[in-house]
Chains A and B, each alone.
Chain A
């Protein structure tokens, strides 16, 4: 057994990583998702018409529209910030514009990899890769906005690394 002092300089720092961009169509997926969610909220706000004062409904709808516009405005920046990076021993995913997060899972800890599609992403022909590990929380990492080829490539890359780890 060796016990050599590890040197992160030799391996490359997480700060220096170049994150791969998600497919451009993912912006449309995000917008479609936001439209669906805010439409549902607007419909729910209509229930306030039951109350005697119509202004409650108008205030709720105005707030909903304001938040929706703000959300659409930051979606582009959020899209540009999202990215994934595969390294020799781990996979990282960067997300969150207001609260930026970088999550890294070593390949050796991965339990399961799957490719998924929801109805909205299916409409745009996009896929997501879900990486599951055995952690108590943060037990899965989902990389959305990938073309079928790219999703399969990532999946094959991870499963290949998993096979190497088991050897």
Chain B
């Protein structure tokens, strides 16, 4: 890691120090009780700025100099920490995913931040900052370290062909519009929460009162009619749609994929470029989602899941491919050309329990809302929980109809989803744990839940017939045993 890496660490630390101390410095600099001249105020500001740079340089040096890494005898070894000197050794074959990020500063200094995921990493990730040549060299070392010598010799003779595929931005935008935009509410919520926090800081914790006063005056002057409420909902939805689409576009535009038989390497992002590398043997699930609009337009959302560590288990850490339906391409790459022609060995469908599981939380929410509205005599608004409940019934029926598990020769498929159809493809060799769970109602309904867990995903197939579930359980263990031998 060179000087550029040090500069990036410095900028990151400076940003943290600046955010933490800027408000304090400005309050102190303009403190009216001190009666300072303009010159003194500027001296204080400049002094504070220099102090921040000094502290950041010191912290950057502490973070940078003890950080070393090297690859030796099939292990990636990195050392870090000044007071708590730690040496972490990762067998190259155990590295599951290798992610890079390239934000604005990284791009200016032509560096990449590299993060590894292994099954055992339960702590915070350690980022390596490398330039392009160092990154290529590390990739080469990892590739060589991961494959056995004989395989390497064979591959060098065969000269594995590498292909490049570009993904169109227009399909990304089209698919982004087809998604469930209510997820954008989370972005809007995060933005509003941050704004509220800032307002609170500058209003001596009176932001909530100010907002309530403002809302009440607005309510009094502009009495809420259903039409006006609808207008507000439409405006909020438009904002959410814009935020959601913009976020996806920023994150996934200009995507390209370099691939061969054993490796997929994605590079994506408009301003900040990221990359994600998937090894053939390390992918544990292929997730394919198609909602009504996607099906009509020939689009799909696809996710290749591999083991993620504790710090990267949020849904958004997974790379999602939005756009043209390329599921058959990826499934052929992972499962082989014959996966389409394989017949089902055994399959089982979920019963009414799947409906109950989907419907029950919505029913509780609706009942609470109904009680609340009745208490305040707002009977007109009862229409909202009733409509919500009706939608939940449809959602529950869809969830029950879609939920099933199918075992084939080379893979198993778990179908789920409610309004959207979701297919999860897994290889038997990736299954780590199988669990069967009964409920107090099993004695009457003879329905059980089958739980499957892989290094990067977990599935609950609810309300399966007990007899079919037990057959599947036994067959899964048998297949897992015989096929994981081949994987190893």
User: Please, how many angstroms separate the alpha-carbon atoms of A99 and B460 in the complex?
Assistant: 15
**What are 15 A-B pairs at a CB distance below 8 A?**
A8-B475, A14-B474, A90-B481, A100-B438, A100-B442, A102-B436, A103-B435, A104-B434, A105-B433, A108-B484, A133-B432, A134-B455, A139-B432, A139-B433, A141-B433
Question: Which residues of the partner chain B approach A108 to less than 8 Å between Cβ atoms?
Answer: 480-481, 484-485, 488
User: Which has the most chain B C-beta neighbours within 10 Å: A8, A15, A89?
Assistant: A8
- Docked pose: A137 CA to B345 CA in angstroms: 27
User: Cβ of B482: which chain A residues have Cβ within 8 Å of it?
Assistant: 6
B307 touching A134 by the CB < 8 A rule?
yes
Question: Nearest residue in A to B478 (C-beta to C-beta)?
Answer: A6
Quick check: is A135 within 8 A (CB to CB) of the other chain? yes
Q: Do B478 and A11 have beta carbons less than 8 Å apart?
A: yes
Does B435 lie within 8 Å of A101, measured CB to CB?
yes
* Residues of chain A having any CB pair with chain B under 8 Å: 1, 3, 5-8, 11, 13-15, 89-90, 96, 98-106, 108-109, 111, 133-139, 141, 165
Q: Does B409 belong to the interface (CB within 8 Å)?
A: yes
CA distance A101 to B440 in the complex (A): 12
The residue in A103, A106, A133, A138 that gathers the most chain B C-beta atoms within 10 A of its C-beta is A106
Contact A8 B435 (CB under 8 A): no
B residues less than 8 Å from A134 (CB atoms): 119-120, 307, 432, 455
Q: Does B181 contact A (CB under 8 A)?
A: no
Least CB distance from B348 to A in Å reads 15
Nearest 7 pairs between A and B by C-beta? A135-B432, A135-B453, A8-B474, A134-B119, A103-B435, A6-B478, A89-B481
Question: With the chains together, A6 CA to B120 CA distance in Å?
Answer: 32
Which A residues touch B453, using CB under 8 A?
135-139
| Cα–Cα distance between A104 and B484 once the two chains are bound (Å) | 15
> Chain B contact residues: over half helix, strand or loop, or mixed?
mixed
CA distance A137 to B456 in the complex (A): 9
Contacts A108-B485, A136-B453, A139-B433 aside, 8 further interface pairs with beta carbons under 8 A come to A11-B474, A101-B435, A102-B436, A103-B434, A106-B431, A106-B481, A136-B454, A136-B458
Q: Tell me if B457 and A136 are in contact (CB < 8 A).
A: yes
Shortest CB-to-CB span from B190 to chain A, Å, is 25
- How far is B436's CA from A105's CA once the two chains are assembled, in angstroms? 12
Residues of A within 8 A of B304 (CB): none
Asked whether B320 is an interface residue with its Cβ less than 8 Å from the other chain, the reply is no
Question: Does B486 sit at the interface, judged by CB under 8 A?
Answer: yes
Q: Which of B434, B437, B486 has the most CB of A within 10 A?
A: B434
Interface contact B478-A111, CB-CB below 8 Å: no
> Is chain A's interface secondary structure helix, strand, loop, or mixed overall?
loop
In the complex, chain B residues whose CB is within 8 Å of the CB of A5: 345
**Distance, CA A138 to CA B432, complexed state (A):** 9
Chain B residues with CB under 8 Å of A89's CB are 477, 481
**Across-interface contacts of B435 in A (CB, < 8 A):** 101-104, 138
Please give me the residue from chain B that is nearest to A108 by CB atom.
B484
Chain A nearest CB from B5 CB (Å) reads: 31
Residue B451 interfacial (CB < 8 Å): yes
What separation, in Å, do the CA atoms of A152 and B433 have in the docked complex? 23
Query: CB-nearest residue of chain B relative to A132?
Result: B120
Give, as a whole number of angstroms, the nearest-CB distance from B335 to chain A.
14
Task: Name the distance in Å between B353's Cβ and chain A's nearest Cβ.
Answer: 13
Most buried by B among A14, A90, A109, A133: A109
* Chain A residues positioned under 8 Å from B120 (CB to CB): 111, 134
Say yes or no: is B313 at the interface (Cβ < 8 Å to chain A): yes
**Least CB distance, A79 to chain B, in whole angstroms:** 18
Question: Residues of B contacting A7 with CB < 8 Å?
Answer: 478
Q: Is the CB of A14 within 8 A of B454?
A: no
CA distance A85 to B136 in the complex (A): 48
Could you tell me the distance in whole angstroms from the C-beta of A74 to the nearest C-beta in chain B? 12
Q: Using a CB-CB cutoff of 8 Å, which residues 455-488 of chain B contact chain A?
A: 455-458, 470-471, 473-475, 477-482, 484-486, 488
Q: In whole angstroms, how far apart are the Cα atoms of A139 and B458 in the complex?
A: 11
Contact of A138 among B308, B409, B433, B484 (CB under 8 A): B433
Q: With A8-B471, A111-B120, A134-B307 as given contacts, are A103 and B439 in contact (CB-CB < 8 Å)?
A: no
Contact partners of A100 in chain B: CB under 8 A: 437-438, 442
Kindly state the separation between the CA atoms of A108 and B486 in the bound complex, as whole angstroms: 11
The reply to whether A13 and B433 contact each other, CB–CB distance below 8 Å, is: no
A129 to chain B, nearest CB (A): 16
CA distance A96 to B304 in the complex (A): 34
Closest to A2 in B: B482
Contacts of A13 in B (CB 8 A): 470, 474
Inter-subunit contact B477/A90 (CB<8 Å): yes
User: Cβ of A14 and Cβ of B477 under 8 Å apart?
Assistant: yes
Looking at the assembled complex, report how far the CB atom of A103 sits from the nearest CB atom of chain B, in whole angstroms.
4
* Cα-based distance from A96 to B439 in the complex (angstroms): 10
Q: How far is the CA of A138 from the CA of B435 in the complex (A)?
A: 9
